[in-house]
């Protein structure tokens, strides 16, 4: 992959006009746009509001869909339910021919297997331990610390037909040291360029991610991570970095120097 193609940009916006602007400015500078709950449910709420599906709103949604081509789309839906329900949902979404779809790996091996059978040409990724969860909370939820839990879920994903795994970069490093997972692609949120790690920037931009599980883009690529989910460092960069486009270019340059 080219350096910029390793960047996954979350469209975590509730304003469709802002989503348009981000896509227009960054389409050639990132590899994939991640469309998640905030964008999906915001558009759904607008369509179901008393004003309803106005011609203007429908036009803007159609325009946005045309700009985000399927091969550049990651549907971050984090499906978690019984196998039949998840399988049917994945089958419906895969008909869109998007690049990536994800489920919660903790939903179990039968869910993973059923989703894999219905993913079509899309890549199926499994979410493991959310990157907002610290060690003590992970123990309270799963009974173990993040790394052994991620390794356990990675085994389920690898054994049941998934294409990739989503985890914090620290666990991604552990996965890449284990050749049992060579067949899994690794995509990692919780990537922070050095310019976002200063005390001033941490105070300016509230970070809800676990700091102990973070890496810089360069560290993550050196660790063998395939794709980097990077949101606020691009969409809300420090003034000295410049625009979102400037931030994306800077991160791609760091990846290029590391690759």
Per-residue pLDDT tens digits for 144-197:
999 999 999 999 999 999 999 999 999 999 999 999 999 999 999 999 998 887
Mean pLDDT (the chain, rounded): 91
C-alpha closest to that of 163 among 133, 143, 185? 185
Q: What is the predicted pLDDT for the residue at 66? A: 78
Residues designated catalytic: 78
State the helix-helix crossing angle for 169-176 and 146-159, rounded to 10 degrees.
Answer: 60
Q: What is the mean pLDDT of residues 91-114?
A: 97
Q: What is the mean pLDDT of residues 93-98?
A: 95
Residue 47 scores a pLDDT above 90 = no
Q: Where do the domains of the chain lie, and which CATH numbers do they carry?
A: 3-258 (3.20.20.70)
**Residue 212 pLDDT grade (very low, low, confident, very high; cuts 50, 70, 90):** confident
Per-residue pLDDT tens digits for 6-27:
999 999 888 888 888 899 999 9
Rounded alpha-carbon distances, angstroms, from residue 127 to 108, 177, 247, 257: 12, 19, 26, 29
Burial of 129 from C-beta contacts in 10 A (0-12 / 13-18 / 19+): buried
d(CA 9, CA 99): 13
CB atoms under 10 Å from CB of 179, counted, come to 8
**Residue 94 pLDDT grade (very low, low, confident, very high; cuts 50, 70, 90):** very high
Q: What is the predicted pLDDT for the residue at 113? A: 98
Would you say 27 and 71 are in contact if contact means Cβ atoms under 8 Å apart? no
Residue 71 scores a pLDDT above 70 = yes
Would you say 254 and 217 are in contact if contact means Cβ atoms under 8 Å apart? yes
Q: What is the predicted pLDDT for the residue at 205? A: 65
Residues 6+ positions from 25 with CB-CB distance below 8 Å: 243, 244, 245
**Residue 208 pLDDT grade (very low, low, confident, very high; cuts 50, 70, 90):** low
CA 90 to chain centre: 17
3-state class of 151 per DSSP? helix
**Residue 3 pLDDT grade (very low, low, confident, very high; cuts 50, 70, 90):** very high
């Amino acid at each position: 992959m080219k350096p910029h193609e390793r960047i996954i940009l979350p469209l975590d916006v509730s304003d469709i006009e802002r989503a348009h602007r981000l896509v227009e400015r960054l389409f050639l500078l990132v590899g994939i746009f991640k469309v998640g709950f905030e964008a999906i449910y915001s558009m759904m709420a607008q369509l179901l509001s008393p004003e309803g599906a106005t011609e203007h709103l429908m036009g803007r949604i159609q325009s946005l869909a045309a700009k985000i081509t399927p091969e550049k789309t990651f549907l971050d839906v984090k499906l978690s339910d019984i196998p039949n329900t998840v399988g049917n949902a994945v089958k419906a979404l895969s008909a869109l021919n998007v690049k990536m779809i994800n489920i919660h790996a903790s939903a179990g091996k039968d869910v993973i297997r059923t989703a894999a059978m219905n993913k079509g040409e899309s890549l199926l990724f499994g979410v493991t331990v959310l990157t907002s969860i610290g060690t003590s909370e992970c123990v309270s939820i799963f009974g173990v610390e993040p790394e052994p839990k991620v390794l356990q879920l990675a085994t389920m994903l690898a054994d049941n037909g998934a294409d990739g795994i989503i985890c914090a970069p620290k666990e991604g490093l552990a996965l890449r040291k284990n050749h049992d997972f060579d067949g899994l692609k690794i995509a990692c949120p919780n990537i922070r360029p050095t310019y976002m790690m200063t005390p001033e920037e941490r105070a300016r931009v509230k970070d809800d991610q676990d700091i102990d599980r973070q890496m810089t883009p360069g560290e993550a690529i050196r660790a063998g991570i395939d794709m980097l989910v990077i949101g606020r460092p691009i969409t809300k960069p420090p003034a000295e970095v410049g625009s979102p486009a400037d931030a994306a270019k800077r991160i791609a340059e760091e990846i290029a120097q590391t690759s």
